[in-house]
Amino acid sequence: MSGLNEIQTGGLKEDKPTMITTKNPEVKSQINSRLARIEGQLRGVRNMIDENRDCKDILQQLIAIRSAVQSASLSFMQDVANDCLLSPDQKDNPESQRAVIADLIRMMGKVS
């Protein structure tokens, strides 16, 4: 199995991603705080553009935003991985753990 749940559709197998969630309120709070800061940075860049600020300054802020989004994504993925893989319902189900790991790795590839 490829690490995904396979469903039969008209004789063809189709992969369905495993659902990955976090119920940890601390993780949710941390990512929401990071996203709020990123939103503020985006608003700041929009204001800089409206004010005809120097292109180098705008570009520097856009690079900082990209870095902040990537950092938030990786941090969130790490927290979700810890939360998913260490949850009691995953410990006794190695096949489910493999599916979650495969999905997390695939998603991490999209982040980098």
- All structural domains of the chain, each given as residue ranges with its CATH number in brackets, are 23-111 (1.20.58.1000)
Q: Is the pLDDT of residue 12 over 50?
A: no
Q: Is the pLDDT of residue 100 over 50?
A: yes
Q: What was the pLDDT predicted at 16?
A: 57
Mean of pLDDT values over 66-75: 90
Q: For 15, phi and psi rounded to 5 degrees?
A: -85, 135
Q: What was the pLDDT predicted at 112?
A: 61
The Cα–Cα gap between 7 and 4 comes to: 9
What is the pTM assigned to this prediction?
0.67
The Cα–Cα gap between 37 and 109 comes to: 24
